[in-house]
Structure 1
Amino acid sequence: MSSNLRPQAFGILRLDDVESDGKQGRPISVGSDRLMALSVQAEPLWFGFVVAGEGQKIMPGGEQHVGIAFLDEQGARKSFPLHVSILFGNGICSRGTLVLDRYAD
């Protein structure tokens, strides 16, 4: 991924201390790690996203205000209301929550 990603949404990302396999959590690389957010509105559906930016890491147990670039921006806008806790992960073992506070215009 590149640093020219345009954030479509902004919010707080919290990365769990412990991964789903019980091991110590690993950092998320901003701008390159591909993540998925779980929508449960009609039926469970995963939306791919990348944390916009470059070179930073979000450490396990930490939280950070971030910009999000969804692969399906329109679908994500319909599926994720603001100020609601959204589960996310990398599809292997990293996990956490994302709370969107606004969408970009």
Structure 2
Amino acid sequence: MNAQALTNFLPLFRSWFETAHLADRLGLSGLVASEDNLLAELDLGPMVEAEARLLNHAPSNATEAACLLEIVRQNIADAGRSDSLDTLALESVQTWLADLTIGGGEGPAVERLLQPRP
């Protein structure tokens, strides 16, 4: 896993989330012309870039973990990403949860959670 910290995670997530909602409400043609969102004004390219940056983020708290899961949930609903960043984000959230629960360690998060503890 190569996820990293992103200092402006929540503002970037809010822009991505609002753009995704606009896209759902207006459809793609209405989104490009919308003045409600900076990412929408610039077309969908920045939204795609923002999503990739968000998915490469290693969560540092429960809010960020939940936000990452929302991106992954929407991607899965849309048949997933071809670059697998959604699965990387999911693994990052699992690792954060395992580290929070049992501390850091080696190996996949779920396997670490299932190991007997002294």
- In our comparison, the structure showing a higher alpha carbon Rg is 2
Pick the structure with more helix per residue.
2
Pick the structure with more strand per residue.
1
